[in-house]
Amino acid sequence: MKIPFRLGTLVIIILIGLWVITEPTVEKPPVKEKDPHFVDAYVKNFTMTSMNEEGIPDYTLTAQLMEHYNDTGDSRITAPVFKFKRPDSNWRVSARYGNIDDDNVWVTLEEDVVMLQQDTENPIKIETSHMRYNTQTRIANSNETVDIQQGAMVIKSNGMIFNSQTGRLQLLAGVNGTYVKP
């Protein structure tokens, strides 16, 4: 009795082993890892105003949408408009997109950046594809091609630095300009 029982058990074990080997394996879908970079907060019609030492608005930044990212602390802004004042003129800077760093020191503007002097008869218009503005030093800079226009004067440069406190505009390289007397 022991031999047929052992033989039967052996046959069953062999059949189970063959069934496991020949059974088609079903692949499990890959486990999605959680994206470490995601929006943890957003604000529509965002406005940020910074005051100077005297309590007067120094600059204002508005945007259609501000999205704050969890892992970097940076914020992505859509359709930003950045306005800052000088004693002799006001400036308006707009772009398609922008970024604000976690410390609110750097505002980076991207795509179709237009910097336009306000409240003046013959305004200066500066266009570029990328510009950074340091909110502490109040200096804007770009390493991209910059097109500057004021009335009949047109200047092109490879980069610029603009100090919004002093109004000094420094063109960096490859400066080329034309002036046509009206």
Q: 21 falls in which pLDDT band (50, 70, 90)? A: low
Give the separation between CA 19 and CA 69, rounded to whole angstroms.
Answer: 51
CA dist 40 and 66 (Å) reads 11
Burial of 82 (0-12, 13-18, 19+ CB in 10 A): buried
Give the residue-averaged pLDDT of 40-48.
Answer: 88
> For residue 4, is pLDDT > 70?
no
Give the per-residue pLDDT at 19.
65
Condensed to tens digits (0 to 9), the pLDDT of residues 86-100 reads 767 788 999 999 999
| List of domains in the chain | 39-179 (2.60.450.10)
Q: Are 95 and 71 in contact (CB under 8 A)?
A: no
Which residue has better confidence, 17 or 165?
Answer: 165
Q: pTM for this one? A: 0.74
